[in-house]
Amino acid sequence: MTSIIRKSCIFIRSYPWVNGISILHNVKESMPEITRFISNTNMYQSKDENSKVGTSALEIYGFAQVKSKKKESFIEVLRMYESRDKYRRGHVEFIYSAMQHMQDFGVHKDLDAYKKLLDVLPKGKFIPSNRMQAEFMHYPKQQQCAIDVLCQMEDNGVIPDWEMEDQLLNIFGKWGYPLRKFWRMMYWMPKFKNASPWPLPQVLPNDPLELAKLAIDRITSVDVRRKITVFQSEDLPDSIDKTWIVSSISPDQKILLEKHPPNTPIYVEGPFRVWLKDCPLNYFILRGDRIEKPQPKPTDDDDVSNIDLPIWKSPSSKALTVDETVHEQEDGTIFSVCATGTSSRDSLLSWVRCLQEENSALANIPVLFTLKSPLGEVALSESDSIKDVKKIEVESNSKEE
């Protein structure tokens, strides 16, 4: 009789649309001697109790409660979870929780941390036994979790190694979707690793001055003869902001500055933003209006009264033209680029004064400080004059003539 009841319980669990409560109620009334067996079954367990099994690990090993945010603490939390729960209950939720806190611990770009995270998944349990199971994504929740880990590695520029291939092979088998994702990453990521013409160090410096040097060097790399100079505003009299200034100017830009008409103003514009990996930095430019060069007179090719015969002309009769430099763009001429420690107007005034020491023509050119920039308004200071500069104007409405 007990075997009949067991089979009934298995049938009800397999087909939840059957009214199992009414069936068991009739059985209990007809055979009261087996009431103890029915009362001990866990088929009436609530959803809240089932959810506690999966979230218990998250409550005990919460990453938010860890005070020391470092790599050793992150690895220790993973180790405690593996040693406490041998069945690895709630391992998918645990991995997603760990992925959300990796940046807080500073391990979002650490390969060893990702390999330790994949070790949380049980080995051998999710390997499909045939190709049909493999194509239908055997254990899809666990496979998608591993794919998300690999996607986060790809977003942070972390290239996996062949040891991770062995891990995925032991977890999901040779037909698993995470292993296919791994193979695509190993094909493409090493190709794009050194594709940038402006390589940066693997670990960026924390000093803002060194970051500014890297940024200005990247921006001005179009001219190989540019010279990057670091000025200190405290070396100048009457300077308010005591900060550093990283400036770049080339010989061609100095020549363009000398040829600039004295009655035509030039502009200090910015800040503009450049990204060095995940570190943003603001920079400013010294720009002048584009000067149109005289165009040759139009000629009528059908006019036979003035036939051009090159063999009868001397070489000196030909007019010479000078090609435009790379600094002469369609929207204006770039004379110099800089980045300051405070990005304030007083630091920009100090920058112009430092450039004036090496370029005397700048003393005769009006300088306009525009407040318009893609990032908002430029921080203003109380100083409104520059020594040895002929004219300083402030364009408050950001409208260029």
Q: Are residues 215 and 167 in the same domain?
A: no
Q: Are residues 215 and 162 in the same domain?
A: no
Tell me if 306 is assigned to some domain: no
For residue 298, name the pLDDT band (cuts at 50, 70, 90): confident
Q: What is the full DSSP assignment across 309-360?
A: -GGGS-GGGSPP--PPPTTEETTEEEEEEEEESS-BHHHHHHHHHHHHHH-G
Q: Are residues 221 and 357 in the same domain?
A: yes
Alpha helices in 204-265 (DSSP H): 208-219, 251-259
The Cα 133–Cα 173 span in angstroms is 11
Enclosing domain of residue 154: 48-193
Q: Are residues 125 and 182 in the same domain?
A: yes
Q: How buried is residue 195: exposed, middle or buried, by Cβ count under 10 Å (0-12/13-18/19+)?
A: exposed
Mean pLDDT across the stretch 213-234? 93
Tell me if 203 is assigned to some domain: no
Tell me if 356 is assigned to some domain: yes
| The pair of three-digit structure tokens given for residue 202, joined into one six-digit string | 């693997």
Q: Are residues 360 and 383 in the same domain?
A: yes
Tell me if 366 is assigned to some domain: yes
Closest alpha carbon to 265 in 355, 365, 387, 335: 365
Tell me if 315 is assigned to some domain: no
The Cα 62–Cα 77 span in angstroms is 8
- Pick the last residue of a domain from 145, 166, 193: 193
| The pair of three-digit structure tokens given for residue 382, joined into one six-digit string | 């109380």
The Cα 193–Cα 361 span in angstroms is 45
Q: Which pLDDT score, from 0 to 100, does residue 375 have?
A: 52
Between 97-106, 235-244, 277-286, 367-376, the lowest mean confidence (pLDDT) is in 367-376
Between 55-59, 265-269, 363-367, 371-375, the lowest mean confidence (pLDDT) is in 55-59
Q: Are residues 9 and 136 in the same domain?
A: no
The Cα 149–Cα 178 span in angstroms is 9
Q: Are residues 242 and 165 in the same domain?
A: no
Q: Which pLDDT score, from 0 to 100, does residue 314 have?
A: 60
Q: Which amino acid is at 241?
A: D
Q: Is the pLDDT of residue 388 over 70?
A: no
The Cα 344–Cα 239 span in angstroms is 12
The Cα 195–Cα 334 span in angstroms is 28
Q: Which pLDDT score, from 0 to 100, does residue 50 have?
A: 37
Q: Which pLDDT score, from 0 to 100, does residue 398 have?
A: 37
Predicted TM-score (pTM) of the model is 0.66
Q: Which pLDDT score, from 0 to 100, does residue 390 have?
A: 34
Q: What is the full DSSP assignment across 184-195?
A: HHHHHHHHHHT-
- Pick the last residue of a domain from 140, 165, 193: 193
Q: Is the pLDDT of residue 295 over 90?
A: no
Sign for the CA dihedral angle at 115, 117, 121, 122 comes to: positive
The Cα 379–Cα 400 span in angstroms is 19
Share of the chain above pLDDT 70, in %: 73
Q: Which pLDDT score, from 0 to 100, does residue 201 have?
A: 87
Mean pLDDT across the stretch 78-101? 87
Q: Which pLDDT score, from 0 to 100, does residue 276 have?
A: 92
The Cα 362–Cα 353 span in angstroms is 9
Q: Are residues 136 and 267 in the same domain?
A: no
Tell me if 311 is assigned to some domain: no
Under 8 Å between Cβ of 219 and 309: no
Mean pLDDT across the stretch 53-65? 54
The Cα 327–Cα 333 span in angstroms is 6
Q: Which pLDDT score, from 0 to 100, does residue 305 have?
A: 75
More reliable by pLDDT, 317 or 292? 292
Q: What domain count does the chain have?
A: 3
Q: Which amino acid is at 166?
A: D
User: Kind of pairing, strands 328-329 and 279-288?
Assistant: unpaired
User: Kind of pairing, strands 392-395 and 367-370?
Assistant: parallel
Instruction: Quick: pLDDT tens for 321-344.
Output: 677 888 988 889 999 999 999 988
Tell me if 186 is assigned to some domain: yes
Q: Are residues 160 and 137 in the same domain?
A: yes
Q: Are residues 159 and 142 in the same domain?
A: yes
For residue 65, name the pLDDT band (cuts at 50, 70, 90): confident
Q: Are residues 329 and 368 in the same domain?
A: yes
Under 8 Å between Cβ of 130 and 173: no
Mean pLDDT across the stretch 279-297? 85
Q: Which pLDDT score, from 0 to 100, does residue 86 have?
A: 75
Tell me if 16 is assigned to some domain: yes
Share of the chain above pLDDT 90, in %: 43
Q: Is the pLDDT of residue 268 over 80?
A: yes
Between 38-42, 177-181, 274-278, 359-363, the lowest mean confidence (pLDDT) is in 38-42
| Phi then psi dihedrals of residue 309, to 5 deg | -115, 100
- Pick the last residue of a domain from 12, 29, 44: 44
Q: Which pLDDT score, from 0 to 100, does residue 316 have?
A: 53
Q: Are residues 67 and 34 in the same domain?
A: no
Instruction: Quick: pLDDT tens for 126-177.
Output: 999 998 998 999 999 999 999 999 999 999 989 999 999 999 999 999 999 9
For residue 293, name the pLDDT band (cuts at 50, 70, 90): confident
Between 51-60, 79-88, 219-228, 280-289, the lowest mean confidence (pLDDT) is in 51-60
Terminal Cα-to-Cα distance of the chain (whole angstroms): 99
For residue 300, name the pLDDT band (cuts at 50, 70, 90): confident
For residue 265, name the pLDDT band (cuts at 50, 70, 90): very high
